[in-house]
Structure 1
């Protein structure tokens, strides 16, 4: 479940403060916020941290980052690799941990890097797909 985003007005109401006070907290760095267009959005957890609310018990989870260097990459291999990895990403269970996949290609060196961030189990599955793609 994604975390709730609040407007400055909703955050001010939740804290029983004036909107300008919340904006000042954001400018001073006391309250984290993300600017979307001309407005700020505040995560509920950041608002709770500012207010001193007790944090929810969150079970520990592991995140892993993996990089695979692939040498002698032609356009066909790059296309297949991209299709397989992005297909695996699209088929990823939406309730599972989020996963990020980036592919960097250097056509001059004919090399590619696959950079993935996710749970260790998801990355193991992903790297098995990379290995299978390279064995073809």
Structure 2
């Protein structure tokens, strides 16, 4: 299946994107594709790598996962929502060679506290925690 080719339309459907967005990614060099006549074909392996789908390889370093729980006291509802959105977006950007991060964020309105749980390889979790620290320093 990894040797198969997909059209721009098929790739757009698999990625839940508009076909013009996929074409822009191809033209920008973000998504490798081969031009055949007037259309493009994308190797399924390249599409999977672009989407961050695991390729089935198991490496010892990649098997190590860490879980981190961050308690953030005295945060407003709006601030918690903004941080959760930021963290989820940051968790989705990443390297296709590493497993994706798993992130959960919860806000307790009674204590006005937020809890963030991150699961992933240690280096990716550390990068996300650094981003969170920058967000917290900018706290009004």
Partner of 1:93: 95
d(CA) in 1 for partners of 2:58, 2:102: 25
Bigger Cα Rg: 1
Gap change, CA 1:57 and 1:122, over 3 Å in 2: closer
Q: Of 124, 127, 130, which residue of structure 2 is paired with 1:128? A: 130
Q: Provide the rounded CA distance (Å) in 2 between the counterparts of 1:57 and 1:93.
A: 16
Query: How do 1:20-35 and structure 2 match up within 5 A?
Result: none
1:98-117 correspondence runs (5 A): 98-117=100-119
Taking structure 1 as reference, are residues 102 and 108 closer, same or farther at Cα in structure 2, changes over 3 Å only?
A: same
- The alignment's TM-score, normalised by the length of structure 2, stands at 0.53
Distance 1:117 1:57, change over 3 A: closer
TM-score by length of 1: 0.54
Cα distance in structure 2, aligned partners of 1:90 and 1:112: 20
Q: What is the aligned-residue RMSD (CA, Å)? A: 2.1
Q: Indicate the SS of the match to 1:69.
A: strand
Matches within 5 A, 1:1-136: 58-60=59-61, 61-136=63-138
State how far apart, in whole Å, the 2-side matches of 1:124 and 1:63 are. 12
Instruction: Give the drift of 1:116.
Output: 0.4
Write out per-residue CA displacement over residues 55-89 of structure 1, whole angstroms, 9 at most, x where no aligned residue. Answer: x9853531100000000010221122112101112
* 8 A Cα contact 2:92 2:101, kept in partner: no
1:72–1:92 CA distance, 2 compared to 1 (3 A): same
Any conservation in 1 of the 2:91–2:103 contact (CA below 8 Å)? yes
Where in structure 2 are there 5+ consecutive unaligned residues?
3-56
Q: Quote the residue 2:10 is aligned against.
A: none
**Matched residue of 2:98: which SS?**
coil
SS at match of 2:60: coil
Query: What are the superposed Cα offsets for residues 82-125 of structure 1, whole Å, 9 maximum, x if unpaired?
Result: 12101112212233122100001101100011000000000100
